[in-house]
Amino acid sequence: MTKPTRRMVLATFIHNSGAHPGGWRYPGAEAVDQHDFKHYARLAQTAERGKLHCYFSGDSQGYPHISGRDAFAATDYAGKLEPTTLLAALAVVTSDIGLIATASTTYNEPYALARRFASIDHISGGRAGWNVVTSASDSEAHNFGRDVQMDHDDRYARAEEFVDVVKALWDSWEDGAAIRDRAAGRYFDTAKVHQLNHQGKYFKVAGPLNVGRAPQGHPIIVQAGGSDAGRGLSARTADMIFTAQSSLEKAKVFYDDMKMRAAGFGRDPATLLVIPSVQLMVRSTEAEAKRADEELLALIPEALSLRTLSLQLGFDLTGYSPDDRLPEIPLTNGGQWVQQQVIAMARAENLTIGALARRVSVSRASFSLSGTPEQIADMCETWFLQGGADGFSLSPNYLPGALDDFVDQVVPILQQRGLFRTDYEGDTLRDNLGLARPENSFVLDPTLGSEPSMWR
Ligand SMILES: Cc1cc2nc3c(=O)[nH]c(=O)nc-3n(C[C@H](O)[C@H](O)[C@H](O)COP(=O)(O)O)c2cc1C
């Protein structure tokens, strides 16, 4: 086999005690307190031992509720550490791995968020990444002064402006602006510190940021929406897109579309990395893998799987029988890509609600595979070489075993095949992803932010 010229990106998407709703109860899982920092430190260190590019902490700012307060009592969804706080702590117990956290453009302000991620980038020496989400549930809206969430496309319009403002804030200090000239008594070269004077539809921000330019220039931008509006945002602004794809065929269509959209914005398509989230579990034989799948599935009560499906569809199915077929479901104002994928899955395979709920509650609309290390490496290789992915974000279904096994048994195979690097090559996450450090927009265009000045 000819050695591939591009190398696979590998990330791990850590859910509190595992991506599988039954993961925390699995006999092979360690009983952890989802607020215990040591748990996450160990996982990040394991991922770093495997030379993975990044550790990703997802987030939402609400307690999901469908049909009452007990709906998700069988899961660990409710309690978690705030992810940017977690990243700052992980930065000091790791040295190379990228650290990515979700933060919402709907329930934040650009200045505060730009500051937070620039700070993590400084603290970590250039390893920060921001997963830009627009948030997709009314349960989050309820915590931020709204009865229902903003309309889907308005959320994305706000996100477009939000990301632009954040990037401009990250540029508001040029490299070398802090001169610290002791003799002259000048700490900053103010000619290198810029105001944005941004006034848009959603935000009015003077700037400059009160954090100097970050080691990566811009922390890595990730986006995970799959609707037309979500893809547009990624294609224009993101370095990576995390996505849920249930088959190689679907992944290829998505991959081609994202690369084409990036080119449509005048970008080199190789600078937008398409990274499907996958649930992979290693066992030494196929029979053992099948048994582990069944044991895990048995830990998801039927009521929970129905509620999980309802959440993904944005439609309450708890009044339906598991033997019913899916009714007509209106387009949700929540997450549209996953909803459409799940509906298509049900129709294509003529699944009952119960069967669909079991499938969706295990891995949402993502691909999952339990198998031998070779089978898992083969899958990664096939998707990577056949144009379905630039890499993968492993969602371990239980912890720490599913991550340990991937790092110890699958990564070495990918390395032997020349598909994955054997060590970190650069100092920053951007270097390790092979992405260039962005030029400073104020240097490129000295007229930026000049009029009208909000500086008095
Ligand atoms: C792999 C992956 C990870 C995601 N992580 C988060 C997250 O941490 N927080 C969140 O609110 N949404 C998350 N999402 C949801 C998306 O960001 C997005 O809000 C959702 O897919 C709806 O967008 P759409 O209507 O464009 O599909 C994730 C989606 C995927 C595929």
Domain encompassing residue 181 = 9-286+366-443
Q: How far is CA 224 from CA 11, 336, 393, 441, in A?
A: 14, 11, 12, 25
Q: Per-residue pLDDT for 17 more than 90?
A: no
Strand pairing class (9-14; 54-57): parallel
In a domain, 433, yes or no: yes
Which tokens sit at 401? 């075993």
Reported as a single tens digit per residue, the pLDDT across 387-442 is 999 999 999 999 999 999 999 999 999 999 999 999 999 999 999 999 999 999 99
Q: Which amino acid is it at 70? A: D
Assign 450 a pLDDT band (cuts: 50, 70, 90): low
In a domain, 427, yes or no: yes
Domain of 413: which CATH number?
3.20.20.30
- Report whether residue 136 contacts ligand 1, using a CB cutoff of 6 Å: yes
Assign 1 a pLDDT band (cuts: 50, 70, 90): very low
In a domain, 2, yes or no: no
Reported as a single tens digit per residue, the pLDDT across 324-376 is 999 999 999 999 999 999 999 999 999 999 999 999 988 888 999 999 999 99
Residue 68 pLDDT = 66
Question: Quick one: average pLDDT of 22-51?
Answer: 95
For ligand 1, the distance from its centroid to the CA atom of residue 224, given in whole angstroms, is 5
In a domain, 335, yes or no: no
pTM: 0.95
Which tokens sit at 254? 């998505």
Assign 455 a pLDDT band (cuts: 50, 70, 90): low
Reported as a single tens digit per residue, the pLDDT across 128-152 is 999 999 998 888 999 999 999 999 9
In a domain, 437, yes or no: yes
Q: Mind giving me the DSSP string for 144-169?
A: TT-SSPPPHHHHHHHHHHHHHHHHHH
In a domain, 82, yes or no: yes
Q: Per-residue pLDDT for 451 more than 90?
A: no
Atom of ligand 1 nearest to the CA of 276: 1
- Report whether residue 337 contacts ligand 1, using a CB cutoff of 6 Å: yes
Atom of ligand 1 nearest to the CA of 156: 26
Question: Considering its fold, how many domains does the chain have in total?
Answer: 1
In a domain, 334, yes or no: no
Atom of ligand 1 nearest to the CA of 102: 8
Residue 453 pLDDT = 63
For ligand 1, the distance from its centroid to the CA atom of residue 256, given in whole angstroms, is 20
Strand pairing class (204-205; 198-199): antiparallel
In a domain, 376, yes or no: yes
Residue 363 pLDDT = 86
